[in-house]
Amino acid sequence: MAMMNISDILETIAMIEEEHLDIRTITMGISLLDCCDSDIKKSCDKVYDKITRKAEKLVATGEQIEKEYGIPIINKRISVTPIAMVSACSGGNPVEYAKALERAAQTVGVNFIGGYSALVHKGFAAGDEALIRSIPEALAVTEHICSSVNIGSTKAGINMDAVALMGQTVVEAAKATADKGCIGPAKLVVFCNAPEDNPFMAGAFHGAGEPDCVINVGVSGPGVVSTALKKIPDGNLTDVADVVKKTAFKITRVGQLVAREASDRLGVPFGIVDLSLAPTPAVGDSVAHILEEMGLEQCGCHGTTAALALLNDAVKKGGIMASSHVGGLSGAFIPVTEDAGMIDAARSGALNLERLEAMTAVCSVGLDMINIPGDTPAEVIAAIIADEAAIGMVNSKTTAVRVIPAIGKKVGDELDFGGLLGGGPVMDVNMISPAKFISRGGRIPAPLQSLKN
């Protein structure tokens, strides 16, 4: 047939229908720098007006593309300039901005707005500390707002005062939402080397170097990769890497197509495609299962870090040629509660926090969506953040922590969030105290970038 190969067409349809290929998100980045006003009420009104104006057609356009191309687009989201920058100008209670963002999210019908954020890797500027201290309340009084704080970078080192503060903030965010299943910290990410164009939540924000408005797209498709690997049960690891690359290429091409269409139809420049493998709790959409398909008895056993390193690198190599601009986080995600295979491995004890930390050295993001005991001290959480940031800082990569203290629960209890956030067991945490180390404060100096051993 002149037009197309039948098996190619059926392959695409099977990827979508049976293997959960989807566009995880179209995220519109909107700069709020021109909304700053010395009067906080005016400033909030300008924020609301600009978001609802720019994103008026975002959801409808996403749905239209979804229908025409037959590819599910799971989320339509917005990322904005870190609110600490806007509130630095107006002063006042930053929670007012969270409320304005919430109203805007409801008006335009998006799933989330990210950017209740502060960038403090070298220190606190005006507005930063007030914003961080307001995060627990902001996440408790809103539904659609996501928050992130960047506390370290390869060039700046790690701001340990901010790390200590974030340890407390995570605990308080959990307490403030204890009646809502501790959902607060599930919407809060602590970053090292945060990307400015990430379309994925909860860490999306619109960086200061970004244009006024931009479209970023995040793809997904762990199910497609594991199905492809099932076809070579006895292939060696070179074959495995090749299959992952080819699959990542195909997935990313769809992301590029959707990004270009959304950008054209909305009249907003295309930013990047984020070529991450983002799992969901649905059966057959798990990153852990890809690792198990490679030959691990269960995710978390010895060999997991090596398998993940192969996967993460092959995803990038395959995806990079499929898109004109790649950015964001771009790698395999390992959120525990959002991944059926990770949940099973955490429940059986195959997967622990230390193994997860090692895995974050070779893949995207970091310790993500991990339920920890509700009585975990703030300084232990701060130390978890510091460890993770150190991995990111030294390896020049993004790392992050999104842990959820399950208030009133202990190791082995379950905490569920529902939807894409999933749910899972409360995992064991090493409680030997790092309190003195954390209380020292100050900054960990930026690391040497040569003599790499």
Partner 1 sequence: MRAVITVVGKDTVGILAKVSTFCAEHDVNVVDVSQTILQDMFCMIMLVDTADMKLEFTDFSDQLKSYGEERNLKIHVMHEDIFNSMHRI
- For residue 396, CA distances in Å to 38, 304, 382, 391 come to 37, 22, 21, 8
Half-sphere exposure of 159 (CA within 13 A, CB side): 24
Q: How far is the CB of 270 from partner 1 (least distance, A)?
A: 14
**Binding piece for partner 1, criterion CB under 8 A, among 5-13, 105-113, 374-382, 432-440:** 5-13
As measured in angstroms, the least distance from the Cβ of 4 to partner 1 is 6
Per CB under 8 A, 64 contacts partner 1: yes
d(CA 402, CA 198): 16
CB of 65 to partner 1, least distance (A): 9
CB 313 within 8 A of CB 248: no
Residue 263 tokens read as: 């950008």
Is 231 a binder of partner 1 (CB under 8 A)? Answer: no
250 is a site residue for partner 1 (CB under 8 A): yes
Judge whether 278 and 200 are in contact, CB under 8 Å: yes
Where is 370: in which H helix or E strand? strand 367-373
Q: Minimum Å distance from CB 95 to partner 1?
A: 40
Closest CA to 330 of 248, 268, 223: 248
Q: Binding of partner 1 at residue 448 (CB under 8 A)?
A: no
Of 57, 175, 253, 443, the residue at the interface with partner 1 (CB under 8 A) is 253
> Looking at 47-55, 128-136, 211-219, 252-260, which segment touches partner 1 (CB under 8 A)?
252-260
Nearest to 405 by CA among 111, 181, 245, 192: 181
SS3 285: coil
Q: What is the CA radius of gyration of the chain?
A: 21
As measured in angstroms, the least distance from the Cβ of 12 to partner 1 is 5
Q: Of 192-200, 248-256, 282-290, 370-378, which segment contacts partner 1 by CB under 8 A?
A: 248-256
| Contact flag: residue 264 with partner 1 (CB under 8 A) | no
Minimum Å distance from CB 227 to partner 1? Answer: 15
Q: Which of 136, 98, 111, 201 has the alpha carbon at shortest distance from 405?
A: 136
The answer to whether residue 352 forms part of the interface with partner 1 (CB under 8 A) is no
Residue range at the interface with partner 1 (CB under 8 A); choices 45-53, 118-126, 161-169, 247-255: 247-255
Query: Quick one: how far is CA 335 from the chain centroid?
Result: 9
- What residues form DSSP beta bridges with 402? 368
State yes or no: residue 13 binds partner 1 (CB under 8 A). yes
Q: Which one of the spans 1-9, 107-115, 303-311, 395-403 is the region binding partner 1 (CB under 8 A)?
A: 1-9
Q: Decide: 349 and 405 in contact? Cβ < 8 Å.
A: no
> Any contact of residue 431 with partner 1 (CB under 8 A)?
no
Binding footprint of partner 1 on the chain (CB under 8 A): 1-6, 8-13, 64, 67-71, 250, 253-254, 256-257
